[in-house]
């Protein structure tokens, strides 16, 4: 992998952006959700998966791209970070005109990007839900978070999360508890600052998510679909969760719905796309294609 990354983290004034149209904003008729994440050129994960999940959940999706990846179903061959200034500019452009009802944070990549996103999250309206999917490694094994940036993610982003959605390996990496199980990890990640933690079950023997809000621990069982296709399942889950928070659901109910949507997307996954792990199908594309063929 080649990587072009910016240097040390910069600082920007945390100036809230107001609507520049000069008029009272029209009431939103549809929830608006912003994804701050990396782009997957193969269309399976990252920003591309997020937008599909937002559409499936009936919300308007917007993006602030943090990195470009040269990626397909087999692996990631190159990564190039977007400048922190441009990441922040994308967020501010959305806030200035459209507004945001919830945010999903995915791949950040570098400490400089993390600092820019920290500033951006500080410019949201108070109580805007923020779902953090702590992306560290691609399904193919490629590093998507610089090792030097891990501490910055823990210190600067996780405490701003309404919900954090690590999978089992990510939760272990965040906490340093290499052999801990999901319930212990949910409590340990929660201690790092998120209001709610959902340790997803895709890497467990049974596909059970563990939800923990600081008081109550709830297991969310679900079906495993070994014959499906799972590339982008984590992105789909966190985006669906953010979408349902934007639509007014409680964190627990949003987590239940997100699990159902992600599981169905894996079940219906496009295993015939590419030579590697096929992408999930949150939009029922194969079903639509078959219907179009019959029309």
Q: What pLDDT, on the 0 to 100 scale, is given for residue 29?
A: 82
pLDDT > 90: what percent of the chain? 78
Helix axes 46-56, 251-267, angle to 10 degrees: 110
Cα 272 versus chain centre, distance: 25
Is the per-residue pLDDT at 12 higher than 70?
no
pLDDT interval class at 289 (50, 70, 90): confident
Q: What pLDDT, on the 0 to 100 scale, is given for residue 18?
A: 47
Is the per-residue pLDDT at 1 higher than 90?
no
Is the per-residue pLDDT at 154 higher than 60?
yes
Taking the whole predicted model, whether its pTM rises above 0.85 is answered as: yes
Answer yes or no: are the C-beta atoms of 255 and 241 closer than 8 Å.
yes
- Read off the pLDDT of each residue in 44-71 and give the average, rounded to a whole number: 98
Is the per-residue pLDDT at 166 higher than 90?
yes
Answer yes or no: are the C-beta atoms of 211 and 196 closer than 8 Å.
yes
Please give the Cα distance from 4 to 67 (Å, whole number): 10
Residue 226 phi/psi, 5-degree rounding, is -65, -20
The superfamily in CATH containing domain 31-294 is Ribokinase (3.40.1190.20)
- Rg (C-alpha) for the chain, rounded Å, is 18
Helix axes 168-175, 182-190, angle to 10 degrees: 50
Please give the Cα distance from 175 to 188 (Å, whole number): 6
pLDDT interval class at 292 (50, 70, 90): confident
Largest interatomic CA distance in the chain: 57
pLDDT tens for each residue of 196-205: 999 998 767 7
pLDDT tens for each residue of 94-144: 999 999 999 999 999 999 999 999 999 999 999 999 999 999 877 666 778
- Read off the pLDDT of each residue in 145-166 and give the average, rounded to a whole number: 94
Please give the Cα distance from 171 to 181 (Å, whole number): 9
Domain boundaries along the sequence of the chain: 31-294
User: Residue 172 contacts by C-beta under 8 Å, 6 or more apart in sequence?
Assistant: 178, 179, 180, 185
3-state secondary structure of 62: strand
Answer yes or no: are the C-beta atoms of 31 and 60 closer than 8 Å.
yes
Q: What pLDDT, on the 0 to 100 scale, is given for residue 9?
A: 39
pLDDT tens for each residue of 256-285: 999 999 999 999 999 999 999 999 999 999
Q: What pLDDT, on the 0 to 100 scale, is given for residue 140?
A: 66
- Read off the pLDDT of each residue in 15-31 and give the average, rounded to a whole number: 55
3-state secondary structure of 211: strand
Q: Which long-range contacts does 217-222 make (Cβ < 8 Å, 24+ apart)?
A: 217/183, 217/186, 217/187, 218/252, 220/255, 220/256, 220/259, 222/259, 222/260, 222/263
Please give the Cα distance from 290 to 295 (Å, whole number): 9
């Amino acid at each position: 992998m080649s990587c072009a990354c910016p240097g040390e983290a910069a600082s920007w004034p945390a100036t809230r952006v107001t609507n520049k149209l000069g008029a009272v904003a029209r009431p939103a008729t549809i929830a608006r959700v912003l994804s701050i994440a990396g782009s997957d050129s193969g269309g399976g994960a990252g920003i591309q998966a997020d937008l599909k999940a937002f559409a499936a959940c009936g919300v308007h999706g917007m993006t602030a791209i943090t990195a470009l990846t040269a990626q397909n179903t087999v692996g990631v061959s190159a990564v190039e970070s977007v400048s922190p200034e441009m990441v922040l500019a994308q967020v501010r452009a959305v806030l200035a005109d459209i507004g945001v009802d919830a945010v999903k944070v995915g791949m950040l990549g570098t400490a400089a990007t993390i600092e820019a996103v920290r500033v951006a999250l500080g410019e949201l309206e108070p109580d805007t839900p923020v779902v953090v999917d702590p992306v560290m490694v691609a399904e193919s094994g490629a590093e998507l978070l610089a090792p030097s940036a891990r501490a910055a993610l823990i210190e600067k982003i996780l405490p701003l999360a309404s919900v954090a959605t690590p999978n089992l390996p990510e939760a272990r990496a965040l906490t340093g508890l290499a052999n801990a199980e999901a319930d212990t990890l949910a409590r340990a990640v929660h201690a790092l600052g998120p209001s709610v933690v959902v340790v997803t079950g895709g890497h467990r023997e049974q596909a059970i998510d563990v939800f923990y809000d600081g008081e109550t621990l709830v297991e969310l069982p679900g079906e495993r679909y070994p014959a499906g296709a799972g590339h982008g399942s984590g992105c789909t889950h966190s985006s669906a969760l953010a979408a349902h928070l934007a639509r007014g659901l409680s964190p627990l109910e949003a987590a239940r719905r997100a699990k159902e949507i992600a599981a169905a997307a894996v079940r219906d996954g496009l295993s015939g796309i590419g030579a590697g792990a096929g992408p999930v199908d949150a939009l029922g594309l194969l079903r639509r294609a078959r219907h179009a063929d019959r029309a």
